[in-house]
Structures are given as C-alpha cells and as structure tokens.
Amino acid sequence: MTALKQYQRLEASGLWRPELGAQRREVIVSLGDASLTISEFSGRALAHWSLPAVRRANRGQTPAIYHPDGDPGETLELAEDESTMIDAIERLLRAIERRRPRPGKLRLYLLGAFAAIVVGGGIFWLPDALLEHARRVVPMAKREAIGEALLTRVARVSGQACMSDDARLPLRNLAGRVLGNDRTDDLVVLPGGVRDTAHLPGGLILMNRALIEDYEDPDIAAGYILVEALRAKQADPLGELLDYAGLWSALRLLTTGNLPESAMDSYAETLLTRRREPLPEAALLGAFDAADLRSTPYAFAVDITGESTLGLIEADPHAGDASQPVLSDADWVRLQGICGG
C-alpha cells in the first residue's frame, strides 16, 4: 500500500523509546510497504509500526517525534539530518490521510446505522447484527492498526519478532511465494509463545521459529503458512476478535475507533494457547493445489505417523510432479538463522 515506490527500501538511524520513562536507544528505521520496522544494528527487529497508525507528536519541529496511535509513551525520534526519511514518512502519512474516511461523515454514518439497528432489531437479534455490522464497516487501515497492537502484546509473551540482515529478503520471498507478492511483509517469525502459527487482523501471519529451524524441507513451513492463511480467509480475524471481546467492545470500536485495552490483552493471551478445529480436507487440498505446493510434507509434520492426515498424503495434488520450489537452498539456510541460531 506504499504510496511512493521510491521509498520502499529507505533506512535511517533514530532514537527509540519503548515506553514512557525508558532509556532511549539508537536504532535503524526501515520504511517498508506498509510499516516502519525498528531494529537493532544487528538486524533484530524491536518493533513494527503500521503506517496508518503512525502519528507525529511535534509537527513542524525537529527532531521529528513519532509514536503509534494511542500509545504516546513509545516514541521514535528522527534527527534533522534524516530529512529524507522524515519527508518520506510525512508524504506517506498525508497520502494515507487523504484516503481515510472523513471522521464527521463516518461517525454520522455509524451513528445512523446504529440507530437503524436499534429501531429494527430485537433483544435477541441485536448483538449478532451489531457484531456483523462492525465487521463490515471497519476499514483495512484500522484492522492493520489493531493487528499491530495485538502483535505488540503477543511479543510481551513470545519475545520480539526475529529478524536478521541475511534473513530479511528470504522471509519476504517465503511470504511472497505462499501468500502472494502483495503480502511480502505479512509474515512474522516469533522466538516462542505461539504453538505453530496464528493470524491477526490486517493480514499478519505469526509463526514459531521451530517451523523454520527444526525442518530441512521449506515445504513444511510453507504448508503451515498456507493453512493459517486459509483459516484467516474462512473466518474473519477481526470477527474472531470481536466475538471474543463481546458486544460492548464492538460498540466502543464503532463509536470511538478503539477497543478496550483489557480486551486486547486478554485476546492476545488466548491467541497463543487456543486450539483450533482442523479445516476440511477438501479445502486444504484445493489450497495446496492452487499454491503449487506439496501437501505431504505438511501432513507428516502434523502427524508423523500419517494416520490422521492420510487424505493429504494420498491425494497430494503435486505428489507426482515437480512443484515450484518454495525457496532456494541458499535462501532457506539464511532464513534458518533468522532468530540467531
């Protein structure tokens, strides 16, 4: 969604503070397709900020100070000599703002829609209808901001997302191969916490480092990513969050644009531990076929005996042909070092 193609690989140095009262530290700031990545000089990512949720605290002054929407305690300072990065961020924020629905009109529309629901609904119909309405009207920019906020909370349990200079491009290649070329920044590798994979509103797919480090075949990691993306497609991630958070949280999102902090914290913890029902075998086979991936490596990774995943093995859509490689051997080796070992 980057509005200015020339800024897709821009980097600068800055001072980052994770929370109010914390020591500022010097970092590398990278401008991606839809986010700012804040990393140590070693390449380890410290934070990911969704561009639609970035705010400037001191417009027109230097050093430029930015923070995530709703969290002014976490800040990023860019000195005056980083004018190229500052100019790029400002131009992107202006472009995003031009595409953002006008608050007055959006609020009037939401209030009007809510009033119509109240008048036409009953006590048993209203909760489900309101949740469905919230799913429909929340824009993608807000979904991405919610996803980034949840990722921050997940990282408190799992540890900060893994990243290294050598693994950055292979990770994007893996995401592009499985999710599509428009989602190369949607894959996040965590050092722990998540069982295998999980998904967040806005399109982020989380995966445990073990899926990369413990297997020699990249088709296994690709299979887990593909299946998680299919879960997110079949069940709206924002809808899952709202179903968990409840009616009043949905009301608050519609009227204020934000979800309660307590609901976000609780859902982030649940996200890491919940068990999911298996997806229909026919849907899985169709997804593997469309992605030109073998289903057998994934099936044996899920169940080493193959008993519970026999259908994915026997009906593997690419068992007898040469499917498109997931990654080159060199990229896979680089990617296996993304968490530093």
Q: Evaluate if residue 229 carries a pLDDT over 70.
A: yes
Q: Compute the average pLDDT of residues 22-48.
A: 85
How confident is the model at residue 246, as a pLDDT?
A: 86
Instruction: Compute the C-alpha angle 283/289/293, nearest 5°.
Output: 115
The letter for the amino acid at 250 is A
- Of 7, 22, 13, 18, the closest CA to residue 49 belongs to 18
Q: Compute the average pLDDT of residues 66-75.
A: 87
- Of residues 235 and 307, the one with the higher pLDDT is 307
Rounded distance, CA 276 to CA 5, Å?
39
- Of 156, 148, 243, the closest CA to residue 191 belongs to 156
Residue 295 DSSP class? S
- Of 183, 203, 89, 182, the closest CA to residue 140 belongs to 203
| Contact between 14 and 29 (Cβ < 8 Å) | yes
Q: DSSP alpha helices (H): ranges in the chain?
A: 83-99, 103-120, 126-137, 140-158, 165-179, 210-213, 218-234, 237-245, 247-256, 261-273, 281-290, 296-302, 310-314, 329-335
Q: Tell me if the bond preceding 63 is cis, omega within 30° of 0.
A: yes
Q: pTM for the whole thing? A: 0.67
| Contact between 327 and 176 (Cβ < 8 Å) | no
Q: How many residues does the chain have?
A: 341
Token representation of residue 104:
């007055």
How confident is the model at residue 69, as a pLDDT?
A: 85
Q: Compute the average pLDDT of residues 72-90.
A: 89
